[in-house]
Amino acid sequence: MTLEKNPDWWRGAVIYQIYPRSFQDSNGDGIGDLAGITERLDHIAALGADAIWISPFFTSPMKDFGYDVSDYCDVDPMFGTLADFDALVSRAHDLKIRVMIDLVLSHTSDQHPWFGESRASRTNPKSDWYVWADPKPDGTAPTNWLSIFGGSAWQWDARREQYYLHNFLTSQPDLNFHNPDVQVALLDAARFWLERGVDGFRLDTINFYFHDQHLRDNPPLPAAERNDRTAPKVNPYNHQMHLFDKSRPENLEFLKKFRAVLVPYGAAAVGEVGDSERGLQIMAQYTSGGDKVQMCYPFELLQPARVTAQDIEATFAQLAAEAPDAWPCWSYSNHDTVRHITRWNLSDAAAKTYTVLLACLRGSICLYQGEELGLPEAEVAFEDLQDPYGIEFWPEFKGRDGARTPMIWEGGNGLGGFTSGTKSWLPVTAPHLARSVRAQAGDPASMLEHYRAVLAFRRAHPVLATGTQRDLRTSGSALQFLREGDEGLFCAFNLGDEDHAISLPEGSWQAIGTGLGGQQVTQHSVTLGPWQFCLARRV
């Protein structure tokens, strides 16, 4: 089935992220796969999502679990076959769910044939496809650039007697986007999947594509300005201003080329902006003007500290100043962060209010698998860790495995219905089993039914997806704003533990969303208790 052609389908869309290793195992080997995703698409349709984003399933040695690609145009046997992928797309489209896949363009695996050829000599046809540089006269690395995964971002290669750049693992060499042939090859890979029916892409580390050709050192970042939004606090990566190893201006022209590839297919892209100092500014650059990617998500709502009313106000004020037409894609959790229920220490009441807030903010939405169940971060013992990031910085940083454990479909066999085998690739934890899909479905007080109701409410009020947003203001822990389009909606949230009295704008208002837990309006005001909200329609 072909979905209705709508080049603006992405605007305000709800995108459900699937981590394929952990969604559903169809063959009993303890690892999720494409056929398993197809089996569970009905759950996503019932939730009310518009699209899915599938994390990488390409051929890979799995040093970084698929984010180290060795073949952009095939499926790793672990996950199935191209025929399995085609069946997934067909079933998703039957359910009116669009399919986005995760393209990792900034780097490949060191097992990719391109890198094998590139490292063989300094004169072969692909010798310049990766970022190679001579050592300094004393033999040390060409620059002071650091890897997000720890240590120098340069690795010595004895074959060429040069260093190659890797912003992540040493087994993930960075492609040289200054070489036009590299750009052509990557755009061709995107076309391959578009021809197979995908509706768009999530672009991993979108601001890491280009490096400074002059190989200038990054300046230090003053201690007072450091934060842990991009890398954990214990990582020295946070000690630099990343001016020259990423977020380079040349990227804008490549993103225009990428957009041109998307246009004939009515496809869309959402980029991951990994920059804790200039994330909103970069997002504005990459999504404004209608000629680059449609949306990006920065880390403002993925931050370690609980998002406050003032954080929301400051974020949207900066967005308005940078580029009013920029389009954000907001999320609280994903496969790289501690789940927000744990990260922000949320009660169920607080988590439900944050869900309604997410649905009301201007922008598109990404939900992460298991978020709709209210799953906390799983505790994974060191001996069970798979993530090289966590192994490197343990125990101060436990890595990303706690957010990547299997999806919980039922409470029965101790593996949550994820696999028919005897063991899953990451352990299923007891606190998760009590929050299974089966246990929550049909229970109006459950987190799952709350998410379903919130997404149904958003769909019933298109102004929340595509309307304008104005008059955003805060008072203490209270946040309020207007959404306007084919109707006018007033939205107010108390993101704290004290009561707040809020005055509604002039006019007549009728409370809506009471089925979600929203408060009634008394004349022209409403008092919100801790973690309460109010939604009202202009009449």
Burial letters 405-418, b for 16+ CB under 10 A, else e: bbbbbebeeebbbb
Assign residue 515 the CATH number of its domain.
2.60.40.1180
204 is a catalytic site residue: yes
Same domain, 260 and 399: yes
Of 428, 458, 488, at which residue does a domain stop?
A: 458
Q: How much is the pLDDT for 355?
A: 98
CA dihedral 284, 285, 291, 296 (to 10 degrees): -50
If asked whether residues 362 and 473 sit together in one domain, one would say no
Distance CA 206, CA 209 (A): 6
Rounded CA gap, 353 and 288, in Å?
Answer: 30
Q: pTM for this structure? A: 0.97
3-state SS assignment for residue 47: helix
- Residue 66 reports pLDDT greater than 70: yes
Give the model confidence (pLDDT) of 489-539 as tens digits. Answer: 999 999 999 999 999 999 999 999 999 999 998 878 999 999 999 999 999
Q: Indicate whether 38 belongs to any domain.
A: yes
Q: Is residue 426 within 8 Å of 405, Cβ to Cβ?
A: yes
The last residue of one of the domains, among 458, 492, 513, is 458
> Is residue 64 scored above 70 in pLDDT?
yes
Which of the residues 102, 174, 204, 401 is marked catalytic?
Answer: 204
Q: Domain containing 479: what range? A: 466-538
pLDDT > 80? residue 1: no
Across 83-90, average pLDDT: 98
Q: Chain-wide mean pLDDT for the chain?
A: 96
pLDDT confidence bin for 230, thresholds 50/70/90:
confident
Q: Is residue 398 part of a domain?
A: yes
Compute φ and ψ for 281, nearest 5 degrees: -65, -45
Helix (H, G, I), strand (E, B) or coil at 107: strand
pLDDT in tens, 466-490: 999 999 999 999 999 999 999 999 9
* pLDDT band at residue 298 under the 50/70/90 scheme: confident
Average pLDDT estimate for 367-395: 96
Mean pLDDT, range 229-234, rounded to an integer: 84
Nearest to 98 by CA among 188, 206, 13, 195: 13
Does 134 map to a domain?
no
* Total domain count, the chain: 2
Regarding whether 332 and 231 lie in a shared domain, the answer is: yes
DSSP result, 362-411 = SSEEEEETTGGGTPPPPP--GGG---HHHHHHTTTS--SGGGSSPP---S
For residue 219, is pLDDT > 80?
A: yes
Please tell me the distance from the alpha carbon of residue 232 to that of residue 396, in angstroms, as a whole number. 9
* pLDDT of the residue at 2: 67
> How far, in Å, CA of 299 to CA of 59, rounded?
28
Q: What angle do CA 270, 113, 191 make, to 5 degrees?
A: 35
Q: Is the pLDDT of residue 264 over 90?
A: yes
Catalytic residue among 64, 76, 272, 275, which?
272
* Residue finishing a domain among 441, 458, 475: 458
- Span 116-154, pLDDT tens digits: 999 999 999 999 999 999 999 999 999 999 999 999 999
If you compute the radius of gyration of the chain from its CA atoms, what whole number of angstroms results? 23
Tell me, yes or no, whether 474 and 369 share the same domain.
no
- Residue-wise pLDDT for 306-349, tens only, equals 999 999 999 999 999 988 899 999 999 999 999 999 999 999 99
**Dihedral angle computed from the Cα positions of residues 136, 137, 140 and 142, in that order, rounded to the nearest 10 degrees:** 0
Give the sign of the dihedral formed by CA 452, CA 457, CA 460, CA 466.
Answer: negative
Whether 449 is catalytic is: no
379: domain CATH number is 3.20.20.80
